[in-house]
Chain A
Amino acid sequence: MNELWKSAKAQGRLATIAATALLGLAAVSPAAAQDYPSESLDMTVAFAPGGGNDVMSRGIAEILQKYDLYPENIEINNRVGGSGAVGWGYLYTQTGSAYDISTTSGSLFTTPLQADTPWTVDDFTPIALLAADDLALTVLGSSRWNTVEEFIAEAKEKPPVIAGTGTVNVDFIVIALFAEKAGFEFEYVPFNSYPDSQTALLSGAVDALLGNPGEIIGMVDSKDMRALAYSGPVVPPEMEGVPTMADLGFDPGISMPRGLIMAPDAPQEAVDWWIKTMQFIVTTPEWKEYISTNLLTEYTLFGDDFATFLEKKNVSFAETLRSRGFVK
């Protein structure tokens, strides 16, 4: 495995050389002939190291450094607490800064609904939506449901028990909208984290769970669990053969948005620089590798398009939760 790792690294280096050469030809290193950036960058990660937001931030920072896109120092700060309230609260206090950025997740919408945060999604400056972390409805490998049709048919007779992470969260919203469209009722059991849901499923306590492809794939490969349906638009190659909820005609139309935001009222020059830079980053082989190892769905929107997207999502998150009485 050592050897494998090294050769993977060597390939990465070759790719870098090739890509740098290409970049030289194009001669539009986004930073060329501009004043921005001239200070060190402060990347706020609102969650703990090792989580989805952290891995993405470090991935972006690595690409920025590899291609010399950002000439100054890049600092990554995990500002953890209160489901993102602490980190994004910090970003909010940096209003007007050109050097404070952060990443988004479902909590960006849900935390302000739960707590008295001074900010909401609309306050931040949107840069780009980069990927979506979608969810799979998953059952035990030994269960009697081989297809999602069988699952739905039985669910209409007897409501199944479905586990997910948290209540005011993407997991709940996805399954609630899916079930509504498919026409079945269910009991939702919230857990603190994905591993807790998985423990409950393995012990036979719940009928199904919701998990990201990256989380379930180990158990799916070993045939301990079976993915029945996927909430994203395109199924990752590792999960080929699993239908999407949209294929079935029950598209929940919601996913965990992984994107980039800046402090409120960031200067236009900085916003333009970041949009251009991110447009380049998503074309690099390193980025493609990040998407495929984490089994994410590539999904890009920039600037104003991303702003419209955030607005729409915010409304639908709030409406789904409000109509079920989970938030005021």
Chain B
Amino acid sequence: MEIFSDLMMGMSVALHPANLLYLLVGAFVGMTIGVIPGFGPAAGIALLLPVTFGMDPVGAVMMLSAIYYGAMYGGSITAILINTPGDAGSVASTLDGFPLAQQGRAGPALVMQAVASFTGGTVGVILITLLAPLFSQVARNFGPPEYFLLAIMGMLTLIVMIGGNWRLGVISALIGFALGTVGVDLESGRSRYTFGSAELIGGINFIPVAIGLFGLGELFFAFYSGSHKKRDGEMLTYDGKSNFWPNARDFIETRFTLVRGSIIGFVVGVIPGAGAAIAALIAYSVERSVSPRPENFGKGEMAGLVAPEAANNAASSGAMIPLLTLGIPGSASTAILLAAFLMWGLRPGPLLMEQNPEFAWGLIASMYLGNMALLLISIFAIPVFVLILKVPYRILAPLVVVVCTLGTFSVNSSYMEMYIMLGAGVIGFFMRLYGFSPAAVVLALVLGPLAEESLRQTLTISRGSFGIFITRPASLSIIVVTIALLVLLPLIQLYGQRVRKPKAS
């Protein structure tokens, strides 16, 4: 019952008019920056952080956190409409979101996206409220050996990403791993493949790569295939009001997807370092494996959009647990939030919630309200966004290029990242043309460095012995879970097909 009195206390803090205003500002800003490709939550929080210098920390944290989870709502809008992920967490949403829009179902896709985001976010906060102490114990057990195994588990989803042609898929993944080796090698401190460039010391950020490969690549392909000349020059067909709301089938078919996506997202989100992008990709892969129609994934299956959307929002809630209970950020965005805690004079650590209950519970309570506000904003904003599809392609296409370029440049004011994005656009076009897998490139670019660094850290710690993966209980559990998934998922799929076949005949 103590939880409820804490939550009520938090609610009274969050409902304070000034705080409520900060919350709404954060939600709105978050959604907006999420929509701009390249401009993700980390950049948005960094942008508004200086404004909070000297502000009441409770209002400030509500605002910055709302930017963080709000961006997860906005990021998928461009993923669905123009195949350009607005932030890292929505890379997986392009896989089925854009095909849905191509079929003229942009409205239902956007509404289901908002519903999935709301469900994921809210399930996440409920789990934080009830289980924060338990999950913080789980997060405590993760060290370098566990991160390595987690990266390997994530790489298994490559099998799903690779698609039909495995040779091209493997080459795509290898390109991603190769890009991941650029930058200062953490272990030796030496630069790799930076060619003397100071800007490449930090490695290749995967956001410009993702925007180029997906967004610009798709655009170039559309020109190549001449789609700008077809259909009055409109990008996609969309017939307005009659096709706005999702139908009952969309809801019924994805009701378990919502729950699965939320739980997978939350658990992955709690583990520091994994983040929303990996959560969304894992949820997508699991969903495809348990689906009765795996062959439809990538061609416009609603569950293929709903799963990663619920997961990336639940993951952003989950990441609050290590942040609040251990002072450990789970992603780039929460790392900036942690820096903000220090700036406001708070001491992150196990005593934070105890010593600053108004701060911690105010934040948790505000996340309930924030998710509701974001659902409403989304529903009202969707008709406006859908109008993008009415813009003639000859006007929309240059605008997309400009927005992608500006969005990428504005994050770090880096010309290098802009060139990387443009270069990735050209490569993305050829990948699209010849059937390579851009998703595999991005996933390998994210997981490659994580796997490499954590493996080398592990082996330094164990002095070269691989036995450490079996002697540490947490490592052993991950190995068991991975093997179980590898065996169980194909069995479930097989069973599903057998059950359906008699019905069909």
Give A contacts to B, CB under 8 Å: 1-2, 5, 9, 48-51, 54-55, 58, 62, 76, 78-83, 85-86, 89, 111, 114-117, 161, 166-168, 187-193, 195-196, 198-200, 202-206, 214, 217-219, 221-222, 224, 293-294, 321, 326-327
Contacts and interface: CB of A to CB of B under 8 A. Distances in A.
Contacts of A83: 184, 201-202
26 contacts: A1-B359, A50-B49, A50-B340, A51-B339, A54-B339, A55-B342, A62-B54, A78-B46, A80-B413, A81-B198, A115-B191, A115-B201, A117-B198, A167-B187, A187-B463, A190-B457, A202-B143, A202-B326, A205-B457, A217-B347, A219-B349, A219-B350, A222-B350, A224-B350, A326-B188, A327-B189
A147 to B, nearest CB: 23
Interface residues of B, number: 67
Interface in B178-194: 184, 186-191, 194
B328 interface: yes
Contacts of A204: 143, 472
Given A115-B197, A202-B140, 5 more contacts: A50-B338, A62-B54, A83-B202, A115-B194, A191-B457
Nearest to A204: B143
Interface string B339-366: 1101101011111100010110000000
Given A115-B191, A168-B189, A189 B359 contact: no
A271 B56 CA distance: 36
B144 interface: yes
B327 interface: yes
Interface string B285-308: 000000000000000000000000
Nearest to A193: B335
A189 B191 CA distance: 18
B349 A218 contact: yes
B327 A198 contact: yes
Contacts of A198: 326-328
A49 B460 contact: no
Contacts, number: 177
Contacts of B352: 218
Shortest Cβ-Cβ A-B pairs, 3 listed: A218-B349, A50-B339, A205-B143
Interface of B: 46-47, 49-50, 53-54, 56-58, 139-146, 184, 186-191, 194, 196-202, 272-273, 326-329, 335-336, 338-340, 342-343, 345, 347-352, 356, 358-359, 412-414, 416, 453, 457-458, 460-461, 463, 472, 474
Nearest to A159: B463
A23 B490 CA distance: 77
Nearest to A203: B143
Contacts of A202: 140, 143, 326
Nearest to A192: B186
A23 B335 CA distance: 40
A218 B351 contact: yes
A139 B194 CA distance: 36
Contacts of B50: 49, 58, 76
A36 B102 CA distance: 62
A82 B47 CA distance: 19
A193 B335 CA distance: 10
B143 A49 contact: no
A202 B57 CA distance: 28
A76 B350 CA distance: 33
Given A2-B358, A219-B327, A49 B49 contact: yes
